């Protein structure tokens, strides 16, 4: 399930390097972290299953992480922005990246060491934007505090 999220700056890109599950190549995986989402109060939202991004953001992401692409997912039955392997092109689905404790974007919350393995960088954004995506809350503030700023 996705929602239209009205997001005000700042917006962050978070990521890390993992090994492709199919060919073992090193690959970057990324997602967006939004501390200021309308109707979410103080919660820091971690976005997943991103279905729609405004153009200013897609051009930024294309330059920064060209392997983060709009792909068709069999699991989701729809297109969404997914992390793909630079070597073999296979998709590492958001379910795998977000849904299990210990997954790249689901650091075990009692352990800030896992959040520290993520990097974080601010996305240049001057005005509020709308993104269509799923979101999770709760671990966003740990990531915002502990991830390595680049």
DSSP 110: T
What size, in residues, is the chain?
150
In the complex, what is the shortest distance from the CB of residue 22 to Zn ion, in angstroms, rounded to a whole number?
5
> Exposure of 149 by Cβ count < 10 A (0-12 exposed, 13-18 middle, 19+ buried)?
exposed
Cβ closest to Zn ion, residue 72 vs residue 145:
72
Q: Which residue has the tokens 């060209």?
A: 66
Decide whether 25 or 70 has the Cβ nearer to Zn ion: 25
Strand order in the sheet with 26-34: 3-7, 129-136, 45-52, 26-34, 11-19, 119-123, 148-149
C-beta of 23 vs 117, nearer to Zn ion: 23
Q: Which residues contact 45 (CB under 8 A, 6 or more apart)?
A: 5, 33, 34, 35, 37, 135, 136, 137, 140
Nearest distance from C-beta of residue 86 to Zn ion, angstroms: 8
The DSSP H or E segment spanning 77 is none
Please report how close the Cβ of residue 97 comes to Zn ion at its closest, in angstroms.
Answer: 15
- Between 17 and 22, name the residue whose CB sits nearer to Zn ion: 22
Note the residues at the interface with Zn ion (CB under 5 A): 20, 22-23, 25, 85, 87-88
Residue 67 Cβ vs Zn ion, minimum distance, rounded to whole Å: 10
């Amino acid at each position: 399930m996705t929602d239209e999220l009205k997001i005000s700056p700042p917006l962050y890109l978070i990521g890390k390097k993992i090994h492709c599950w199919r060919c073992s190549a090193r690959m970057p995986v990324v997602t967006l972290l939004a501390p200021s989402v309308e109707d979410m109060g103080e919660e820091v939202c971690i976005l997943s299953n991103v279905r729609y991004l405004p153009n200013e953001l897609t051009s930024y992401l294309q330059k920064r992480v060209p392997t983060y692409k709009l792909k068709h997912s069999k699991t989701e039955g729809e297109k969404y922005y997914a992390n793909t392997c630079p070597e073999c092109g296979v998709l590492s689905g958001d379910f795998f990246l977000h849904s299990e404790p210990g997954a790249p974007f689901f650091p075990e919350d009692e352990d800030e060491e896992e959040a520290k393995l993520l990097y974080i960088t601010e996305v240049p954004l001057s005005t509020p934007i709308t993104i269509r995506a799923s979101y999770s809350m709760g671990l966003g503030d740990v990531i915002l505090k502990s991830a390595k700023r680049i």
